[in-house]
């Protein structure tokens, strides 16, 4: 039953498949995933923003996966949802876990879409796994603020001075936040509404739509109520060296950025596209940070358009390998 477009208060259907994959050298950690759409066909991996978790995928994208016949998989990062808390030394280290997840889920090749804080992780996967990542979509992605690829300004740049605190206290703070969220359902929806009222016009309009409000609420309660350490780990990693140069990413990248983004400045998107050797910038006039999520179908169409026809083969999930 389609529940994504009813109003005023809607419920979000559960993912078709949800669980976690053992990762790490001795497989002692886990990465959570949620799967939507067809169990066969081309695979699109969706990497959530900061904060966020595996269900931070627009309803339109979930429905489109079913209609067009592709697998749409959302992944937690360590320390949120069903994923074990873990500190990477740099963003590049995520790719080892990502590769294990792909192999466990029976995915040979995929496109990867990264929203905001998911952008650096998406680029890392493209840099170190170009044989498996066919194409990339970045939506208002974070740019480096240090090192030779760095650019000043924006919310992430303001984090640099508190990075030592995030590294030391992020875990305890995250546990406290998740403890609050575990009993905070009655106030979670008003909190999202309040955030919307304080946001730019475009974001406020998006958050007023019941399907997006329900998606963020569902993701917050299923991801953040169990663990909420990932956002603090993300912020600490964003301001460090990422472990690779942006210009070494050769996979095709399409970068969407609202020209009124209040979190990640539009200039950061322009900067990144000048560094990437095979990238296109899609300027979204009048849109801010969250509002570009309303373009999810267009974004998916673009990343799948780069697949050669013979590559659209059916990858299947070995269910016996899942938790």
Q: Say if residues 307 and 63 touch (Cβ distance below 8 Å).
A: no
Distance CA 238, CA 260 (A): 22
Distance CA 53, CA 230 (A): 9
Confidence of residue 232 (pLDDT cuts 50, 70, 90): confident
Quick check: 225 pLDDT over 60?
no
CA-wise closest residue to 317 among 36, 28, 27: 36
CB-based burial label for 153 (10 Å; 0-12, 13-18, 19+)? middle
**Percentage of the chain exceeding pLDDT 70:** 77
Q: Which residue has the higher pLDDT, 197 or 266?
A: 266
- pTM summary value: 0.85
Confidence of residue 315 (pLDDT cuts 50, 70, 90): very low
End-to-end Cα spacing for the chain: 26
Report CA 88 to chain centroid distance, whole Å. Answer: 17
Cα-based distances in Å from 312 to 22, 165, 309: 27, 46, 6
Q: Dump pLDDT digits (tens) for 149-185.
A: 999 999 888 776 665 555 554 444 445 444 444 445 5
Q: What is the mean pLDDT of residues 215-241?
A: 78
122: which residues sit within 8 A by CB, 6+ positions away?
A: 47, 112, 113, 114, 136, 137, 138, 141
Structure confidence at residue 204 (pLDDT): 82
Backbone angles phi, psi at 283, to 5 degrees: -80, 130
Structure confidence at residue 295 (pLDDT): 95
Cα-based distances in Å from 262 to 154, 271, 303: 8, 16, 25
- In DSSP terms, 236 is beta-bridged to none
Distance CA 36, CA 16 (A): 5
Quick check: 54 pLDDT over 90?
yes
Cα-based distances in Å from 20 to 56, 82, 108, 183, 217: 16, 6, 18, 24, 21
Quick check: 131 pLDDT over 90?
yes
Quick check: 147 pLDDT over 90?
yes
Count how many Cα atoms sit within 13 Å of the Cα of residue 169 in the half-sphere of its side chain: 8
User: Which residue blocks in the chain are alpha helix, DSSP H?
Assistant: 59-68, 94-104, 118-128, 154-157, 163-181, 185-197, 201-208, 210-219, 230-238, 266-275, 296-305
**Tokens representing residue 54 in the block:** 């595996």
CA-wise closest residue to 296 among 52, 76, 46, 111: 46
């Amino acid at each position: 039953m389609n529940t994504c477009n009813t109003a005023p208060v809607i419920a979000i259907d559960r993912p078709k498949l949800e669980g976690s994959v053992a990762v790490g050298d001795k497989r002692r950690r886990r990465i959570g995933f949620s799967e939507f759409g067809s169990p066969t066909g081309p695979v699109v991996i969706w990497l959530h923003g900061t904060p966020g978790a595996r269900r931070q995928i627009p309803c339109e994208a979930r429905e489109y996966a079913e209609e067009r016949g592709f697998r749409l998989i959302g992944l937690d990062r360590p320390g949120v949802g069903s994923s074990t808390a873990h500190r990477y030394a740099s963003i590049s280290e995520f790719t080892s876990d990502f590769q294990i997840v792909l192999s466990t889920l029976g995915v040979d090749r995929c496109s990867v879409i990264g929203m905001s804080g998911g952008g650096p992780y998406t680029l890392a996967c493209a840099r170190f796994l170009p044989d498996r990542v066919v194409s990339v979509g970045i939506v208002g992605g974070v740019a480096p603020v240090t090192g030779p690829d760095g650019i000043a300004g924006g919310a992430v740049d303001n984090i640099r001075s508190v990075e030592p605190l995030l590294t030391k206290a992020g875990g305890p703070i995250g546990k406290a936040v998740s403890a609050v969220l575990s009993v905070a359902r009655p106030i979670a929806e008003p909190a999202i509404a309040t955030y919307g009222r304080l946001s730019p016009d475009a974001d406020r309009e998006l958050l007023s739509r019941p399907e997006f409000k329900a998606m963020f609420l569902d993701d917050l309660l299923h991801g953040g109520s169990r663990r909420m350490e990932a956002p603090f780990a993300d912020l600490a990693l964003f301001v460090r060296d990422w472990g690779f140069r942006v210009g070494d990413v050769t996979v095709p990248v399409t970068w969407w950025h609202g020209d009124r983004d209040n979190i990640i400045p539009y200039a950061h998107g322009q900067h990144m596209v000048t560094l990437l050797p095979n990238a296109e910038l899609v300027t979204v006039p009048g849109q801010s940070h969250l509002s570009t999520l309303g373009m999810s179908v267009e974004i998916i169409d673009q990343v799948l358009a780069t697949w050669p026809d013979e590559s659209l083969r059916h990858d299947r999930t070995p269910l016996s390998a899942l938790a």
